[in-house]
Amino acid sequence: MPQFKLEEFSYKELEEFIKKEGIDTFILPVGTIEPHGTHLPLGTDALIPIAMGEYIAEKLKAILLPPIYYGVTTSLHGYTGSIRIKPETLEQYVYQILESMKMHGFKYALILNGHGGNTQALENAARNAWLNLRMAVMVVDWWTLAREKGLTQKILGKEGGHAATDETAMILATFPNLVKKKLYDPKSIYVYSNGIRAYPTPGTIINYSEKEGETEFKDQVSREYFEVVSKLILEAFIEFKSKVSSIVE
């Protein structure tokens, strides 16, 4: 099976591989390090995009870049193990990665984002990469796309949330040994309200409605959920490339 991970090539191998396969696209997984309940790993928001990137890279014939584990953690910063960088730091970091890849001849980028706090910084970097570099970039917040398309409700029977059933299913599908069911504590659930601002958030599982209830461990359908969402992203990016290619080439 072909290998698409950037860090595993020598530079000469990469040159030859890009030329031989006609590769013009790369994937960048981005997450953060913060608590996800008592049952999921601190790296959840990075691990999901990493797994998606590995799944998509071969099908898309794209180079998979090493992930960015650190992100814009705010309301959960302070819980043990959380690590925060500023939005402007992430924006510049990602932009400079895009700039380097443009120098190497890449025309398209797919940024797989696993953390809502990163969204604005990644959007800014993507916008500037197009305006300044003429690199076409799509940023995907996978959980938002999955909910918009009704996949989370259809497959998991939930709307999902932070460290909730959707993220739990993704880790079950890809890193099952990192899901600690015995450590799960429903007392960690906090129901978000638009009318309340609290720092730090008084709970590390965040639901966005009262009806969401407890996190469920959907072992049997977790792989289906992961694959369906990953395929949705793949199809969206292929369509994106097709529609913008005339102004990128």
**DSSP-assigned beta bridge partners for residue 23:** none
pLDDT score of 1 more than 80: no
Asked, for residue 70, whether it belongs to a domain, the answer is yes
Asked, for residue 4, whether it belongs to a domain, the answer is no
**DSSP-assigned beta bridge partners for residue 141:** 113
- Segment 177-191 shows an average pLDDT of 97
Copy the structure tokens of residue 210: 């009262």
Copy the structure tokens of residue 107: 């025309």
Q: Which tens digit of pLDDT belongs to each residue from 115-139?
A: 999 999 999 999 999 999 999 999 9
Could you identify the residue written with the tokens 């819980």?
A: 79
Asked, for residue 61, whether it belongs to a domain, the answer is yes
pLDDT score of 2 more than 60: no
Asked, for residue 1, whether it belongs to a domain, the answer is no
Tell me which amino acid residue 203 is: G
- DSSP secondary structure, 25-42, as one string: EEEEEE--B--BTTTB-T
Q: What angle do CA 96, 102, 103 make, to 5 degrees?
A: 95
The number of folded domains in the chain is 1
Asked, for residue 8, whether it belongs to a domain, the answer is no
* CATH number of the domain encompassing residue 119: 3.40.50.10310
Query: Which pLDDT value is given to residue 129?
Result: 98
Task: State pTM to two decimals.
Answer: 0.96
Asked, for residue 79, whether it belongs to a domain, the answer is yes
* CA 113 – CA 45 distance, rounded (Å): 8
Q: Which tens digit of pLDDT belongs to each residue from 72-104?
A: 999 999 999 999 999 999 999 999 999 999 999
Q: What residue numbers bound the domain in which 93 lies?
A: 14-238
Asked, for residue 145, whether it belongs to a domain, the answer is yes
Q: Which tens digit of pLDDT belongs to each residue from 237-247?
A: 999 999 999 99
- Segment 179-202 shows an average pLDDT of 96
* CA 186 – CA 215 distance, rounded (Å): 8
Q: 141, 30, 36: which is closest to 82 by C-alpha?
A: 36
pLDDT score of 249 more than 90: no
pLDDT score of 62 more than 80: yes
Asked, for residue 248, whether it belongs to a domain, the answer is no
Q: Which tens digit of pLDDT belongs to each residue from 5-41?
A: 999 999 999 999 999 999 999 999 999 999 999 999 9
- Contact 174/219 with Cβ under 8 angstroms? no
